[in-house]
Structure 1
Amino acid sequence: MSQALTLARPYARAAFAIAREDGKFAPWSDALAFSARVAADPRVSALLSNPQLGRGDAVALLAPEAAGDAYGRFLGLLAESQRLQQLPEIAGLYEQLRADAENVVKATVTSAAELSAEELEKIKAALGRRFGRGVEVTTAVDASLIGGAVIDAGDVVIDGSLKGKLSRLQTALAH
């Protein structure tokens, strides 16, 4: 995984530089997300590794209809460098660069039950105070947590779930 990220990093930075220069962060995010989803499909991935697939065909397969010429040239460069399989990593790194530039933290809140809008706003406000930045929150439900929530904000994971607390208690009692 780390090798894939290392290979993807310069391409993500290049895509980010182009998007920043053109002032088009969102269209590049959408295009990269689309291309990453398509490239991650096992059938497409096998096709992309086929040496008989032409560069133009690969670009046509991966580029969304609304993508501009700059994005097509970017995909062409990836095809030429045989890096199309790294599109999921490139898209992820691009999103990290975009979030940093826009001074936003992206967090995922996984809870045992659906959170109300009020609870979600409280979590969002607390994360904003903790990180000193704007916060974009996505939610997920995992009943196995029993209660509470797990917040994943990049490098920071806050486990306030009952499952996590029980696991920590079990570890403490075992030692």
Structure 2
Amino acid sequence: MTWATMVDLANKVLAWLNGVNADYTELYNAVRDLLSCHAELSSVESELRTRQNDEIEAVLSGDELRARSREATEELARSEAEYMKATGPLSLLKDKFSETREVLRKLEEESVEKEREVDVLDVKWKSCLHSHIAIKNEEREFDGQLFEKHRNLEETQQRFDEVEAGVRQSIKALLSILC
């Protein structure tokens, strides 16, 4: 029976009792208590349904939360596995990078040292080149002087031969006169 039906029925009974001039005070109090209890029961029943719905929603939310928690745990495990898988090669790459950097540092030191050696050898080579050029110039000058001396010698030898031939001729002429 609904609340409205109960109130309507109680009003009709009380109106009838009032119409017959009956003493209905005790009945009125009992009906009033019943209606009050029924109103409280209806309120508590509504609160109970609300609380039950809240609990169902909480259970569903809890189930959803636990499902999300499981997914998050699984994702965390996958992410951690990927992270651990990536850190190994990264560590190796960092080690190789460090080793390569050390090799490059040593090569740079060697390069600087070789550049110093090359600079020293370049100075020495240029000095040798200048000396070589100077000696070659001296040699050409000497060859020119030697050629000039040889030509002078040939000219002198030719004059000597001519004068000597003249002397022999004069001796022959003198001998032919004397003999």
Question: Which is richer in helix?
Answer: 2
Relative to the length of structure 2, the TM-score reads 0.19
Higher relative contact order (CA 8 A, sep 6+): 1
Pair member with larger Rg: 2
Question: Which is richer in strand?
Answer: 1
